[in-house]
């Protein structure tokens, strides 16, 4: 199998085949997103049908085996069937690669914004509506996504008769079921999109309001083309500015009333955000 050495690891190269033998084969296409524990590629199956291929890093990340993440994501996606959640077609192994074949997408939201520029207010409202409907379905199954970010919102370009793109929530690799009573500690890096309650040291239980904070940052990128904070900053600087409410303050300066809506999603205290995705959806609907 062809490969390149991006990210210090031998990853499957664009054009290579995964699978074969008694299982379907998949042609690896261009890289859509390089995550910590996986790569997400455009791909096609043996019949040329487009799809998305998620390929897990074979080595453990942050002490967790790839098998655990792969099996968790299969399990959680199996609980979900919603137009705004990227649908799982098949999970398979190919040598030491663990893979998920998912419905197709054209780009992640960060790439889409880089290519097309910031979105108009009405387009951001449509993005918010779709993502809130997806989050409502996710939370209704007792799942907290924990990684709602521009990289994990995938975009399907408008087809014939469609006025706007379709947006899909993807990557359930670190998601949790609330019924399992999980407590989380702050990860060692990639902290700029974390809600304040998970950014501080110590273990705590996640709630659906964590995902509303991630949604707020995602909408900020869509509307302005940038995020308030980045992982290029030291953790101490990110933590200080997040706990002082910088993202919420910046959102409140945006075009009203959408800015106020995003600022509420980005409140420092979880109890000051909307109580649920459904409550946020209703607030969005009622914006002037």
Last residue of a domain, one of 81, 102, 123: 102
Q: Is 141 exposed, middle or buried (0-12, 13-18, 19+ CB in 10 A)?
A: middle
pTM of the model: 0.89
Q: What's the domain count of the chain?
A: 2
Last residue of a domain, one of 55, 71, 102: 102
Are residues 180 and 163 located together in one domain of the fold?
Answer: yes
DSSP letter assigned to residue 50: E
Residue 65 pLDDT more than 90?
no
| pLDDT tens digits for range 252-287 | 998 789 999 999 999 999 999 999 999 999 999 999
Give the number of other CB atoms < 10 A from CB of residue 275. Answer: 12
Least confident of 42-51, 210-219, 277-286: 42-51
Tell me the residue range of the domain where 123 lies.
107-285
DSSP H or E stretch at residue 51: strand 50-56
């Amino acid at each position: 199998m062809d490969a390149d050495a991006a990210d210090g690891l031998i990853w499957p190269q664009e054009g290579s085949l995964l699978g074969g033998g008694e299982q379907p084969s998949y042609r690896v296409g261009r890289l859509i997103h390089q995550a910590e524990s996986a790569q997400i590629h455009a791909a096609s199956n043996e019949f040329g049908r487009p799809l998305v291929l998620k390929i897990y890093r074979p080595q453990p990340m942050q002490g967790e085996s790839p098998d655990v993440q792969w099996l968790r994501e299969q399990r959680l996606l199996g609980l979900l069937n919603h137009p705004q959640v990227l649908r799982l077609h098949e999970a398979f192994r190919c040598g030491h690669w663990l893979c998920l074949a998912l419905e197709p997408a054209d780009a992640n939201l960060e790439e889409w914004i880089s290519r097309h520029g910031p979105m108009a207010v009405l387009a951001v409202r449509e993005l918010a509506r779709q993502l809130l409907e997806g989050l409502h379905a996710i939370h209704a199954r007792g799942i907290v996504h924990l990684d709602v970010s521009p990289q994990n919102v995938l975009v399907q370009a408008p087809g014939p008769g469609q006025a706007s793109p379709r947006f899909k929530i993807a990557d359930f690799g670190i998601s949790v079921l609330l019924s399992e009573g999980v407590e989380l500690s702050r990860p060692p890096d990639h902290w700029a999109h974390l809600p304040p309650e998970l950014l501080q040291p110590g273990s705590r239980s996640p709630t659906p309001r964590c995902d509303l904070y991630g949604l707020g940052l995602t909408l900020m990128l869509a509307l302005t083309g940038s995020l308030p904070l980045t992982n290029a900053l030291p953790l101490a600087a990110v933590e200080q500015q997040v706990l002082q409410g910088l993202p919420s303050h910046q959102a409140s300066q945006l075009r009203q009333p959408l800015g106020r809506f995003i600022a509420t999603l980005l409140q420092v205290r979880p109890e000051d955000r909307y109580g649920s995705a459904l409550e946020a959806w209703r607030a969005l609907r009622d914006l002037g």
